Amino acid sequence: MDAPEKSSKIKKIRPETLEFIILYNQLKGKAFSGNIELAEVLGFNSASSITEITKSRQNIDPEKLQIFKDKYREFLYPVKNTESVVVAPAKNVFVGIPMYEVTATASGVEVYNDINDTSPVGHMNFPGIEDCDFALPVWGHSMYPYLENGCWVALKIIHDMKILPGEVYYIEWGDYRMYKRLLAGDNVDEVIAHSDNTTEMIGNRLKYAPFVIKLADIKKLCLVKDIHKKHNH
């Protein structure tokens, strides 16, 4: 008898699933003891459903994410003691950076909508991205293994357009938007857009060959500050 086939990763992780995974890792052991308890709260028949979601093999329904957030609201938004005589001035609460569900290709062969014309589908919130401006998903394989197809990337806009050679950036130039590792060009007014995936070939040529971009042609420059990759286990 053949062995059962192992569940494969879903091709597209929806923003609510990413948010659930992040909150799940923050609250496990604090708000709930384990997957059995959580499955009962969310109305799943088996704790394995929680495992499938946290391993990126299944998306969570938005309604169940809301149940999760309502159930553990006191852990997500703890109420501070208001009996103190001295009232401290209110501070802005970091709710996360906006996530835009646009087709951000790693290969640069697709054109997609300007994020200014798109409403955010959620917020990414975990330590280390407080100074980032927004998050985009990645589609394509040209930057593999650094950027995997389907992962989400936290980006910081570089307003002075200064480039650190060797770092990975999200760039907008001409009619294209893409992720590339930018290297110093032969001339001071240009950079080389390099793809990390150097294994795929078309004939005897690289499928994702490096190319030169004039600095003056770059309309938006954002540094890749953090990556939320799909689970591989």
SS (H, E, C) the chain: CCCCCCCCCCCCCCHHHHHHHHHHHHHECCCECCHHHHHHHHCCCCCHHHHHHHCCCCCCCHHHHHHHHHHCHHHHCCCCCCCCCCCCCCCCCCCCEEECCCCCECCCCCCCCCHHHCCCCEEECCCCCCCCCEEEECECCCCCCCCCCCCEEEEEECCCCCCCCCCEEEEEECCEEEEEEEEECCCCCEEEEECCCCCCEECCEECCCCEEEEHHHEEEEEEEEEEECCCCC
- Final residue in a domain of this structure, among 76, 106, 124: 76
pLDDT digits 0-9 by tens, 13-27: 888 888 888 888 888
Residue 162 lies in a domain: yes
Pick out the chain residues at pLDDT < 50: 1-6, 84, 108-112, 232-233
Predicted pLDDT at 230: 61
Residue 142 lies in domain:
133-228
Q: Work out how many domains the chain is built from and give that number.
A: 2
Residue 95 lies in a domain: no
Residue 118 lies in a domain: no
Predicted pLDDT at 92: 65
